[in-house]
Structure 1
Amino acid sequence: MAERSPRDEALAWWEEQIEREKYAGAAEDLPPAAAERYLRDNALLALTPGGWGWVVLGPAHPEADSALRQNYWRLVSEALRIYAPAVIDRISAVRLYMGEASTPPLLHVTHASSASERKLEVVPGLTVYLRPAAPRPEPRIVAEEMVVDGVTLHVSPPVRVLLSLTVTDIRDHRDLVLTWLQSLVLAQPELEQAYERNPRPVLLERIGHLAEAVGNRRLAEQVRRIATAFHRTRPSRTHTGVGRDLVIPRYISAQPSLREPWLDRFRAKLARAAEVSAEVIRETGVDLSPAPVDSILRQARTAKAEDTYHSTTIEGYRITREHVRAVLAGTALDSPDRAEMERLMALRGYSQAFERTVAFAAEADGGARLSEGMVLDLFVELWGPSVDAEIMTAAELRGWRQAPVYIRGSAYVPPAPGKVPQMMRVWADSLNQLEMDAVSRAAVAHWAFVHVHPFMDGNGRLSRLLMNLILCSAGLPWTIIRAEERREYFDALEQADIREDYAPFARFVATRVARAAEMR
Structure 2
Amino acid sequence: MGEIVPRDVALAWWQEQIERESYAGSPEDLPDAAAQRYLRENGLLALTPGGWGWVVLGPAHSDADSALRQNYWRLVRTVLRGYAPAVIDRISAVRLFMGEASTPALLHVTHASNASERKLEVVPGLSIAIRPLPRTEDQLGGEEMEVDGVALTVLPPARVLLSLTVTDIRNHRDLVLTWLQSLVLSQPQLDEAYERDPRPVLLARMGHLAEGVGNRRLAEQVSRVVNAHQRNRPSRTITGVGRDLVIPYYIAAQPSLREPWLDRFRAKLARAAEVGARVVREIDVDLTPAPRATVLRQARTAKAEDTYHSTTIEGYRITREHVRAVLAGAPLDSPDRAEMERLMAVKGYSQAFERTLQFVTDAPDLVRLSEAMVLDLFVELWGPSVDAQIMTTAELRGWRQAPVYIRGSSYVPPAPAKVPQMMGVWADTMNRMEVDGVTRAAVAHWAFVHVHPFMDGNGRLSRLLMNLILCSARLPWTIIRAEERREYFDALEQADLREDYAPFSRFIATRVSRALEVDHDPASAQRISAGS
What range describes the TM-score normalised by the shorter chain of this pair?
over 0.9
Give 1:365 deviation, angstroms.
2.7
311-320 or 125-134, which deviates more: 125-134
How many residue pairs match? The answer is 519
Other-structure match for 1:181: 180
Other-structure match for 2:523: none
Other-structure match for 1:306: 305
Q: Deviations over 1:470-491 (max 9, x none)?
A: 0011110000000000000000
Q: Deviations over 1:70-113 (max 9, x none)?
A: 00000000000000000000000000000000000000001001
Other-structure match for 2:62: 62
What letter matches 1:469 in structure 2?
L
Other-structure match for 1:159: 158
Q: CA contact under 8 A between 2:449 and 2:458: conserved in structure 1? A: yes
Q: CA contact under 8 A between 2:120 and 2:129: conserved in structure 1? A: yes
Q: CA contact under 8 A between 1:365 and 1:473: conserved in structure 2? A: no
Other-structure match for 1:413: 412
Other-structure match for 1:125: 125
* Partner Cα distance (2:364, 2:505) in 1: 25
Other-structure match for 1:74: 74
1:31 is aligned to 2:56? no
Q: Deviations over 1:130-168 (max 9, x none)?
A: 1111216x1311111111111111111111111111011
- With structure 2 as the length reference, what TM-score do the two structures score? 0.97
Other-structure match for 2:19: 19
Other-structure match for 2:247: 248
Q: CA contact under 8 A between 1:183 and 1:259: conserved in structure 2? A: yes
Q: CA contact under 8 A between 1:281 and 1:506: conserved in structure 2? A: yes
1:383 is aligned to 2:379? no
What letter matches 1:132 in structure 2?
P
SS of the residue corresponding to residue 277 of structure 2 reads: helix
Give 1:194 deviation, angstroms.
1.0
What letter matches 1:496 in structure 2?
A
Map of 1:182-201 to 2, 5 A cutoff? Answer: 182-201=181-200
Give 1:197 deviation, angstroms.
1.3
* Partner Cα distance (2:475, 2:447) in 1: 21
Other-structure match for 1:85: 85
SS of the residue corresponding to residue 466 of structure 1 reads: helix
* Partner Cα distance (2:134, 2:109) in 1: 13
Give 1:116 deviation, angstroms.
1.8
SS of the residue corresponding to residue 127 of structure 1 reads: strand
* Partner Cα distance (2:424, 2:13) in 1: 49
1:10 is aligned to 2:10? yes
Give 1:361 deviation, angstroms.
1.0
Give 1:188 deviation, angstroms.
0.4
Other-structure match for 1:424: 423
SS of the residue corresponding to residue 519 of structure 1 reads: helix
Give 1:363 deviation, angstroms.
1.7
* Partner Cα distance (2:153, 2:196) in 1: 20
* Partner Cα distance (1:416, 1:194) in 2: 30
* Partner Cα distance (2:198, 2:364) in 1: 59
* Partner Cα distance (1:81, 1:60) in 2: 27
* Structure 2 unaligned residues grouped into runs of 5+: 520-532
450-459 or 144-153, which deviates more: 144-153
Q: CA contact under 8 A between 2:138 and 2:196: conserved in structure 1? A: no
Give 1:250 deviation, angstroms.
1.1
* Partner Cα distance (1:3, 1:217) in 2: 72
Show structure 1 runs of 4+ deviating over 2 A. Answer: none
Other-structure match for 2:493: 494
* Partner Cα distance (2:405, 2:438) in 1: 28
Q: Deviations over 1:6-46 (max 9, x none)?
A: 11111111111111111111011110001100100111100
Aligned CA RMSD, in angstroms, stands at 0.7
- With structure 1 as the length reference, what TM-score do the two structures score? 0.99
400-409 or 1-10, which deviates more: 1-10
